[in-house]
Amino acid sequence: MESFNAENASDYLKVALAAADKAADISRRYYAGNFTVTTKADMTPVTQADVECEQAIRNVILSAFPEHGFYGEETGQTQADADFLWLVDPIDGTKGFVRQYPFFSTQIALMHAGELILGVSSGTMMDELAWAEKGQGAWLNGKRLLVSEIYDPDRAAVSTGNLKSLAASEGWLALGNIVKHADRIRGYGDFYHYHLLAAGKIEAVIESDVNILDVAALSVIVTEAGGVFTNLNGDKPDLNIRSVLAANPSLHEKFLNQLKGYVA
């Protein structure tokens, strides 16, 4: 199995990985409990760990690239007109983090002129650190990632995540048809099923309720592993993404034909 050559890492990637390490130290410290939880205006929770992780990431990134923009889950967006924009979810899966599920992660991505070019996904408590840069492949703990070559829907393992919007649409029947034919249906959720997809261990991920900070880094990782990552209408990820269909190329085309048009 091919191993990552650190000489191929750009300065952007080196800084992103350093920022992820800082965040991991903080989230590990808080994971056992002893933190306060407050509720934001959208009724989602935020903890001290979220705030401190984002601040640490922000300090590392903007110390290295002060001219770049920064869009964080907790602090919002600054320098919106910058050519480079960092997209950060310091603890993706805060609800799980609060209940001590290990499936939370830190997500760090870099967008240049509207295109996602770098992603780091740190599954801290599961010892999974994935990263990718445009044109440089995708990697998990230093080992190359490649999507599977299972192209038969009847042999596919499909994982679903947030599905409320899809469940409330006529697309629920389309998803049911995919489920009916799939070899296995799972709900690994959050970052983890994207890591599995990029590693060739499952074939597709379907979600209908996400935001760009949840999936920006993961979209780069899946794409660089040879997969296709769009919303449920086949559009490439942008700041307004709300749904995901991610799969190897053949199954992405087949599933998109069934799901397209039901959820943006």
Of 119, 145, 171, which residue sits at a domain end? 145
Question: 84: closest CA among 61, 120, 109, 112?
Answer: 112
pLDDT at 198: 98
Could you tell me if 12 and 129 lie in one domain?
yes
CB 241, CB 220: distance < 8 Å:
no
Question: Which pLDDT belongs to residue 201?
Answer: 98
Q: Say how many C-beta atoms besides its own lie within 10 A of residue 172's C-beta.
A: 15
Residue 183 falls within a domain, yes or no?
Answer: yes
Q: 129 and 216 share a domain?
A: no
Domain boundary among 125, 145, 165: 145
What is the predicted pLDDT for the residue at 94? 74
Check: CB of residue 6 under 8 Å from CB of residue 12. Answer: no
Residue-range definition of the domain harbouring residue 169: 153-259
Does any domain span residue 225? yes
Q: What is the pTM of this model?
A: 0.94
Q: How many domains does the chain have?
A: 2
Same domain membership, residue 167 and residue 47: no
Domain's final residue, options 115, 145, 175:
145
pLDDT of residue 46: 65
- Least Cα distance to 89 among 32, 11, 19, 28 occurs for 19
Cα 238 from chain centroid (whole Å): 13
Are 238 and 216 found together in one domain?
yes
Q: 72 and 111: one domain?
A: yes
Task: Write out the DSSP string of 105-145.
Answer: EEEEEEEETTEEEEEEEEEGGGTEEEEEETTS-EEETTEEE
Domain shared by 163 and 123, yes or no:
no
pLDDT (0 to 100) of residue 49:
85
Q: Residue 219's closest CA among 199, 245, 201, 254?
A: 245
Do 10 and 139 lie in one domain? The reply is yes
Tens digit of pLDDT at every position of the chain (264 positions): 688 887 779 999 999 999 999 999 999 888 877 666 666 656 466 678 888 999 999 999 999 999 999 999 988 888 878 999 999 999 997 777 778 888 899 999 999 999 999 999 999 999 999 999 999 999 999 999 999 999 999 999 999 999 999 999 999 999 999 999 999 999 998 999 999 999 999 999 999 999 999 999 999 999 999 999 999 999 999 999 999 999 999 999 999 999 998 988
Does 1 reside within a domain?
A: no
Instruction: Tell me which amino acid residue 248 is.
Output: N
Same domain, 23 and 114: yes
User: Other C-beta atoms within 10 Å of 221: how many?
Assistant: 32
In this structure, is residue 10 part of a structural domain? Answer: yes
The pLDDT assigned to 24 comes to 95
Q: The domain that contains 245 carries what CATH number? A: 3.40.190.80
| Chain position carrying tokens 């910058």 | 82
The answer to whether residue 264 sits within a structural domain is no
**pLDDT for residue 193:** 97
Q: Is residue 192 part of a domain?
A: yes
Instruction: Kindly state whether residues 169 and 97 are assigned to the same domain.
Output: no
Answer yes or no: do 127 and 171 share one domain.
no
- Predicted pLDDT of residue 15: 98
pLDDT at residue 136, rounded to an integer? 95
Q: What is the CATH number of the domain that holds 92?
A: 3.30.540.10
Q: What is the pLDDT of residue 34?
A: 66
In a domain, 33, yes or no: yes
Distance between CA atoms of residues 182 and 179, nearest Å: 5
Same domain, 208 and 131: no
255 domain-assigned: yes
Q: Say yes or no: 24 and 47 in one domain.
A: yes
